[in-house]
Amino acid sequence: MAPSVCLQEMIRVIRSARTQGEERGVIQRECAAIRAQFRQADSGGRSHNLAKLLYVHMLGYPAHFGQMECVRMIASPRYSEKRIGYLGAMMLLDEKQDASLLITNSIKNDLSHSSQYIQSLALCTLACMGSAEMCRDLAPEIERLLKASNSYIKKKAALCAVHIVRKIPELGELFTPSAHSLLSDKNHGVLHGAVVLITELCERNPGNLDEFRKAVPELVQIMKGLVTSGYSPEHNVAGISDPFLQVRVLRLLRILGRNNDEASDAMNDLLAQVATNTDSSKTAGSAVLYETVLTIMDIKSESGLRVLAVNILGRFLLNNDRNIRYISMTSLQKIVQTDHTAVQRHRGTIVDCLKDQDASVKRRALELSLALVSAANIRSMMKELLRFLSTCPPELRSHATSGIFNAAERYAPSQRWHIDTILHVLITAGGDVRDETVPNLIQLISVASELHCYTVHKLYRALISDISQQSLVQVACWCIGEYGDLLLKGDCDEIEPMQVTEDDVLDVLETILQSHMSSPTSRGFALTAIMKLSTRITNNIDRIRSVVSIYGSCIDVELQQRAVEYNALFKKYDHMRYLIMSSHTIMGFNSVTCLCVFSAPNVTVYEKGGVNLKLQCDNQTETAITVTFTASNSTQSDITSFTLQAAVPKSVQLQMKAPSGDVIPAQGRGTVTQTILLNNPNKASLKMRVRLSYTSQGTLCQDMVQIDSFPSPAWN
């Protein structure tokens, strides 16, 4: 048998492969050899084989066949084999595999091994991929190791305990007493682990807060020691003594001081000291200063201290280093809700950051700017936000447009301003506006009735220069259809006059219909607009008619259906066309709502005691049908409290409209009508049961009528 190739040799061979295919071939051969050697249980090169497999795994090739080998290696007495076995376990195994349970026993044994390095392998693996069962099994061991004399083991056991608490929060009780005593250790690694453990225990279970608040004096002492100690090469980073530990302690103090006056008092002096004395010229000092500022803002600190903190953040906003600026904005975001006025003071600098080249800084600046918009600054802020929109990176655009619309809706100083803002956004970034906003915008425009002329003119002008932005196209088409007459009149107070002929307008709408850039929804809007214009123009009805009939054979089914029904309106129901097309209602966007009226006879379904109920049926589409009941009264006195209730088969959907009234005048002088909309998607045979209830001559009458056949010629 050939001697096993060691890891470096295999890497060299893989690297010399010139194509992806060649590399794959090499790796397949190596994996086959490795698999064969796993089966051999050859003790010589076992760790090499697993190392090779892990390398191959990193490159993205399947390595699951090594899982059992990891289990075997972990059980080996040799350190080199254990080491690679544990590494393999962390990379290849997870809770979901059965193999992971098999290593529980090995871990348990190794946790009590005489060598601290073997103990540490077990601790590391447990903290990385320990499942809930493994954690439950081994928690007592970990608790024991927390009290070990060896600081190397103690610090690892502390972090392992954190992992256990994350998996099984109830086990936190087990570690609470030891966690507190770890704070008196001198070793920084142990202190660090202890602080992380206590932080986790407090966050998981707020009941622990009282217990650990007793540790605040100790934590303050630790911080004081770090801040005032002289230069110590051991833990020094850029002149700051162990900034990592300082940051952790400050974070824990924040959790303990929150909403608690006593704890906050105890740490006030320390925080002031750190805030004023820390040198922030390097990253390490800045990290500590930020944590201090966030802690000051989150606990119950004195107002003087809070002002100091916000000023520090403001100073950092002006720093040249982009990292610092980014972090300061992240910090300001955290406090903008609670300390709004303080953050407002820095609005100018934040808005300037919108122009920064760095996309991450821009993102933070956008979030913060949107949070700072208020009624007082809406005009100036919107100017900045709109300017930002034109240079905004693509990944932020839809968020920016939504934010702008929200802000505009909340704080718009006037309707005209609001409409202008909407138009500006549609023109600059109409392609990134979320689809749901189009109906909202149409609603807003339709409500601002004095501005219809202005709006339609502006939208028309935007449309003739660019039809690629779908939201703009949709809103513009709707406006042109609705207010086309205002557009054609030519003059408008607020903008220079522009002569728009009927042909011009129809040209634009037809271009949209034919353009490959238009989405199906936009096409629908354009067709509907053309149709609506047929009632607002005089000279080009034929042109409209021919467009509509062309689209009657369009491939897009929605468009075709619309066109066919509009066609029908032209042909059969010209007298209805004005009525339907000139109504100023918002048309349903995704469904065809055009009324296609097929007249049907009016049938009497109920006649009793002078009350006559007639039924008329109109088909909207193949599955939608409008049923109109007309009730009349031939008795001598009025009928009051007239109500109808209707029931239909399960597959049919029913919607009752409001009745015209509930009093039927006597002697046929008037009627009550009730419309019911039905949707019959399965085309089931339509039946209806109607219950009438009314008061006639002082008596309450109730009756039921079953309608088994409907007088509609369309149903087959």
Partner 1 sequence: MIKAILIFNNHGKPRLSKFYEHYSEDTEQQIIRETFHLVSKRDENVCNFLEGGMLIDGSDNKLIYRHYATLYFVFCVDSSESELGILDLIQVFVETLDKCFENVCELDLIFHVDKVHNILAEMVMGGMVLETNMNEIITQVDAQNKMEKSEAGIAGAPARAVSAVKNMNLPEMPKNINIGDISIKVPNLPSFK
**Sites for partner 1 among residues 395-424 (CB under 8 A):** 395
Question: What whole-number distance in Å separates Cα of residue 331 and Cα of residue 310?
Answer: 10
Q: Is 189 in the site for partner 1 (CB under 8 A)?
A: yes
Phi, psi of 390 (to 5 degrees): -75, -20
Q: Is 192 in the site for partner 1 (CB under 8 A)?
A: yes
Structure tokens at 399: 């968020």
Q: Nearest distance from residue 400's CB to partner 1, in Å?
A: 15
Phi, psi of 628 (to 5 degrees): -120, 125
Residues 6+ apart with CB under 8 A from 716: none
Q: Is 129 in the site for partner 1 (CB under 8 A)?
A: yes
* Residue (330 or 560) nearer to partner 1, CB: 330
Q: Which residue has the tokens 């202890």?
A: 194
* Residue (333 or 621) nearer to partner 1, CB: 333
Q: Is 40 in the site for partner 1 (CB under 8 A)?
A: no
Q: Is 7 in the site for partner 1 (CB under 8 A)?
A: yes
Q: Nearest distance from residue 287's CB to partner 1, in Å?
A: 4
Q: Is 160 in the site for partner 1 (CB under 8 A)?
A: yes
Please give the residues from 421 up to 480 whose contact with partner 1 meets the rule CB under 8 A: none
Among 17, 26, 101, 124, binds partner 1 (CB under 8 A): 124
Residues 6+ apart with CB under 8 A from 503: 540
Question: What whole-number distance in Å separates Cα of residue 535 and Cα of residue 582?
Answer: 7
Q: At what angle do helices 359-372 and 378-390 cross, to 10 degrees?
A: 160
Among 34, 56, 83, 249, binds partner 1 (CB under 8 A): 83
Q: Nearest distance from residue 552's CB to partner 1, in Å?
A: 45
CA dihedral sign of residues 36, 41, 44, 45: positive
Choose the binding region for partner 1 from 50-58, 451-459, 479-487, 546-554 (rule: CB under 8 A). Answer: 50-58
Report DSSP state, residue 492.
-
**Ramachandran region, residue 693 (left: φ > 0; alpha: ψ -120 to 50; beta: rest):** beta
Among 74, 123, 293, 472, binds partner 1 (CB under 8 A): 123
Among 183, 194, 196, 592, binds partner 1 (CB under 8 A): 196
Q: At what angle do helices 470-489 and 452-465 cross, to 10 degrees?
A: 120
Q: Is 152 in the site for partner 1 (CB under 8 A)?
A: yes
Among 184, 360, 468, 583, binds partner 1 (CB under 8 A): 360
* Residue (154 or 614) nearer to partner 1, CB: 154
Q: What torsion do the CA atoms of 581, 476, 432, 347 make, to the nearest 10 degrees?
A: -120
Contact assessment for residue 6 and residue 45, using Cβ atoms and an 8 Å cutoff: yes
Structure tokens at 143: 């608790």
**Closest alpha carbon to 247 in 217, 227, 231:** 227
Q: How many residues bind partner 1 (CB under 8 A)?
A: 75
Q: Is 13 in the site for partner 1 (CB under 8 A)?
A: no
Q: Nearest distance from residue 184's CB to partner 1, in Å?
A: 19
Q: Is 85 in the site for partner 1 (CB under 8 A)?
A: no
Among 318, 359, 576, 704, binds partner 1 (CB under 8 A): 359
Structure tokens at 375: 């009624």
Q: Nearest distance from residue 16's CB to partner 1, in Å?
A: 9
H or E segment to which residue 626 belongs: strand 624-633
Q: Is 357 in the site for partner 1 (CB under 8 A)?
A: yes
Q: Is 54 in the site for partner 1 (CB under 8 A)?
A: yes
Please give the residues from 203 up to 242 whose contact with partner 1 meets the rule CB under 8 A: 233-239, 242
Per-residue binding string, partner 1, 523-562, x by CB under 8 A, is: ----------------------------------------
* Residue (237 or 498) nearer to partner 1, CB: 237
* Residue (330 or 374) nearer to partner 1, CB: 330
Q: Nearest distance from residue 157's CB to partner 1, in Å?
A: 10
* Residue (10 or 500) nearer to partner 1, CB: 10
Q: Nearest distance from residue 186's CB to partner 1, in Å?
A: 13
**Closest alpha carbon to 328 in 304, 353, 357:** 353
Per the DSSP assignment, residues forming a β-bridge with 691 are 645, 704
Other Cβ atoms less than 10 A from the Cβ of 18: the count is: 7
Choose the binding region for partner 1 from 160-168, 205-213, 513-521, 660-668 (rule: CB under 8 A). Answer: 160-168
Other Cβ atoms less than 10 A from the Cβ of 6: the count is: 13
Q: Coil, strand, or helix at residue 605?
A: strand
Q: Nearest distance from residue 66's CB to partner 1, in Å?
A: 12
Choose the binding region for partner 1 from 34-42, 191-199, 544-552, 649-657 (rule: CB under 8 A). Answer: 191-199
Structure tokens at 434: 């979320």
Q: Is 115 in the site for partner 1 (CB under 8 A)?
A: yes
User: DSSP string covering 320-332, please?
Assistant: S-HHHHHHHHHHH
Q: Is 138 in the site for partner 1 (CB under 8 A)?
A: no
* Residue (47 or 528) nearer to partner 1, CB: 47
Choose the binding region for partner 1 from 123-131, 381-389, 430-438, 652-660 (rule: CB under 8 A). Answer: 123-131
Contact assessment for residue 165 and residue 204, using Cβ atoms and an 8 Å cutoff: yes
Choose the binding region for partner 1 from 119-127, 261-269, 295-303, 626-634 (rule: CB under 8 A). Answer: 119-127
Q: Is 346 in the site for partner 1 (CB under 8 A)?
A: no
* Residue (115 or 641) nearer to partner 1, CB: 115
Question: What whole-number distance in Å separates Cα of residue 68 and Cα of residue 64?
Answer: 9
* Residue (49 or 522) nearer to partner 1, CB: 49
Choose the binding region for partner 1 from 158-166, 511-519, 647-655, 704-712 (rule: CB under 8 A). Answer: 158-166
Structure tokens at 84: 């690679």
* Residue (164 or 477) nearer to partner 1, CB: 164
Question: What whole-number distance in Å separates Cα of residue 7 and Cα of residue 2?
Answer: 15
Q: Is 96 in the site for partner 1 (CB under 8 A)?
A: yes
Q: Is 95 in the site for partner 1 (CB under 8 A)?
A: yes
Among 21, 62, 206, 698, binds partner 1 (CB under 8 A): 62
Structure tokens at 402: 């939504």
Structure tokens at 297: 């803002």
Residues 6+ apart with CB under 8 A from 86: 70, 74, 121, 122, 124, 125
Question: What whole-number distance in Å separates Cα of residue 365 and Cα of residue 350?
Answer: 6
Question: What whole-number distance in Å separates Cα of residue 255 and Cα of residue 170?
Answer: 20
H or E segment to which residue 593 belongs: none
Among 94, 173, 262, 622, binds partner 1 (CB under 8 A): 94
Q: Is 155 in the site for partner 1 (CB under 8 A)?
A: yes
Query: How would you class 317 by CB atoms within 10 Å of its CB: exposed for 0-12, middle for 13-18, buried for 19 or more?
Result: buried
Please give the residues from 279 up to 308 whose contact with partner 1 meets the rule CB under 8 A: 282-284, 286-287, 290-291
Q: Is 28 in the site for partner 1 (CB under 8 A)?
A: no
Report DSSP state, residue 651.
T
Q: Is 704 in the site for partner 1 (CB under 8 A)?
A: no
Question: What whole-number distance in Å separates Cα of residue 496 and Cα of residue 493?
Answer: 8
Q: Nearest distance from residue 307's CB to partner 1, in Å?
A: 23
Report DSSP state, residue 183.
T
Please give the residues from 321 up to 340 whose contact with partner 1 meets the rule CB under 8 A: 322-323, 325-327, 330
The rounded Cα 554 to chain-centroid distance in angstroms is 37
Choose the binding region for partner 1 from 185-193, 469-477, 604-612, 663-671 (rule: CB under 8 A). Answer: 185-193
Among 247, 317, 343, 526, binds partner 1 (CB under 8 A): 247
Secondary structure in 3-state letters for 655-698: EECCCCCCCECCCCCCEEEEEEEEECCCCCCCCEEEEEEEEECC
Q: Is 595 in the site for partner 1 (CB under 8 A)?
A: no
